[in-house]
Structure 1
């Protein structure tokens, strides 16, 4: 039988959810989550605002590009990002919304201010509300992971408090054949966990242990969630940061754009990622003996994918 990423309800009792969710993370590095509690009307508004922005003229969008900013906030033009080790850039453009920190906050240097487009009404209000909703759900998911790992349910609370999380609004334009590159080349995420609101268009696939590509198609209203490299490092590889991609559409859908909204939940910038002792034993020696701060790790990876020089 073909392996399949399970669909898990967040309405399950806490211990049952933690076991099912953690087991899916350990097996696939991915899970699909229902009953997450984010208002469907808010999600629908967000899709509409994102589509309005990406429909703006190129010059208008590029006015919100921040040279040298590593794509941390605002607009990143089509053809900028390239997966680590890839030969062709991804066929996408995107917008980043980050956490608002008060003036003088000790982490402000690592987390720049947001920029907002004037052309789309209620863009800021919509995405600040959605960011907060993602943040809440992410905290609940991390609590489940903590339980699965035998840690206190609030273990991750401090590690992500004021964390450098980013919400990405993604637009993959129609694909002209023959295309150089694909919508998103095979890659792993940098962060702690990623929460992804599903796209109407298919294409997300994960690389399974046997080398086959498995489609991940969350049911309507559900989200895909996956392990990032930071959590993989923290857990000594017990929870794998699985390679995934967004393949190009079949011929019949090549003229249709694809939109998605991942929320990259990050550790606090100054959090020191040090392998959990409970994930080290004789059969599993420490693969990451040198601790590293979350920001140092992030900057290293941003250079690898072409977002920073």
Structure 2
């Protein structure tokens, strides 16, 4: 869990200096700033009641459809995850980040190694069990949401789950320390998620997540005990662009650290992703891609924002290169 460059330690040693490598680029500096309109838009981010959604409530399904078409983001309430489970995850994670750097470094391992129980920390006490319980509950929420997405896409509720050879889940905890120059730094740069969906738990008292909407960066105000959910690239491809994954970023706070808990839900590396036939109304926007290849390229090449989704689009530069090869 400890980051490769331990920003927590950098801030602890010198809270009034920001290393140059963390400063935003000129392009990012030119991005529009949050305005009064952006804060007004923030209050209109859809709120979905999962207890109604899971019972097939027509009005709530319509709200989900509109949220996915117009926002790509929504907040989920009445999801059935106990407050004790949510708070337990938050409390244990705070204790983890309070551990001495040497202790965190002892359990650091490359992400490519995946889940290896040998590296689980002994402290805080019960951390593994807390994460297991939290992750299990979030995966249930994710499965229920994917079933509802399948329904609003005009299919049986288990169709989208069936398109996954296996439904994978990865949990990432993001720690963004307080920053003396918050306007000059990004905690997480703009991107869309290379997932089916992402389920995020925010801190209740710190605003940091922003989504791109109508050319502005709109803050996502935390709702206590709610999850923030966003459509991933996989849903965008399956829906032939009807539902779009949306760029988002995280900004630091001047006085408070911010932790967020992102659960990425995605297909097997060998799954092939392409538009579902009945959702192609006029023209097919995306080609068939192998999910593992798409994921690796998106994560390793130097893309900005949503540029990586071009790999899956018909008429992309990759298609042109293939065509030229055949002609030559």
TM-score range, shorter chain: 0.7 to 0.9
1:203 matched residue in structure 2: 208
Residue 179 to residue 185, structure 1, CA distance change in 2 (3 Å): same
Secondary structure of 2:218's partner? strand
Cα deviation code 1:25-75 (max 9, x no counterpart): 1110011110000111011111011111111222322223323x34x74xx
Match of 2:261 in 1: 261
1:199-240 Cα distance to aligned partner (Å, 9 max, x none): 2310211111x2022221242111111011121122121111
SS in 2 for 1:169: strand
Query: How far apart in 1 are the matches of 2:67 and 2:199?
Result: 15
Q: CA deviation at 1:137?
A: 0.7
Change in Cα spacing, 1:299 to 1:164, as seen in structure 2 (3 Å) is farther
Q: Distance in 1 between matches of 2:132 and 2:245?
A: 28
Specify whether residues 224 and 114 from structure 1 end up closer, same or farther in structure 2 by C-alpha distance, changes over 3 A only: farther
Q: How many aligned positions are there?
A: 259
- Residue 33 of structure 1 corresponds to 76
Q: Is the 8 A contact 1:36 1:137 kept in 2?
A: yes
The answer for unaligned runs of 5 or more in structure 2 is 1-36, 304-328
* Structure 1 segments unaligned to the other structure (5+ residues): 74-97, 99-111
Cα drift, residue 147 of structure 1: 0.7
From the CA coordinates, give the structure whose radius of gyration is larger. Answer: 2
Q: What is residue 293 of structure 2 aligned with on the other side?
A: 296
Normalized per residue, which structure has more helix? 2
In 2, the alpha carbon distance for the partners of 1:130 and 1:159 equals 25
Q: CA separation of 1:141/1:203 partners in 2, compared to 1, >3 Å: closer, same or farther?
A: same
Indicate conservation of the 8 Å contact 2:252/2:258, yes or no: no
Change (3 A) 1:157 1:28: same
Partner of 2:185: helix, strand, or coil? coil
Displacement of 1:255? 2.5
Distance 1:146 1:196, change over 3 A: same
SS at 1:240 equivalent: coil
Instruction: Tell me if the contact between 1:187 and 1:243 (Cα under 8 Å) persists in the aligned partners.
Output: yes
Residue 47 (structure 2) aligns with: 7
Distance verdict in 2 for CA 1:66–1:180, change over 3 Å: farther
Q: In structure 2, what is the Cα distance between the partners aligned to 1:162 and 1:128?
A: 18
Q: CA deviation at 1:148?
A: 0.6
Give the secondary-structure state (helix, strand or coil) at the position aligned to 2:264: strand
Aligned partner of 1:56 in structure 2 is: 99
1:20 is aligned to: 63
Structure 1 length normalisation: TM-score? 0.77
| CA drift at 1:113 | 6.6
- Matched position secondary structure for 2:171: strand
- Given the two structures, how large is their TM-score scaled by the length of structure 2? 0.73
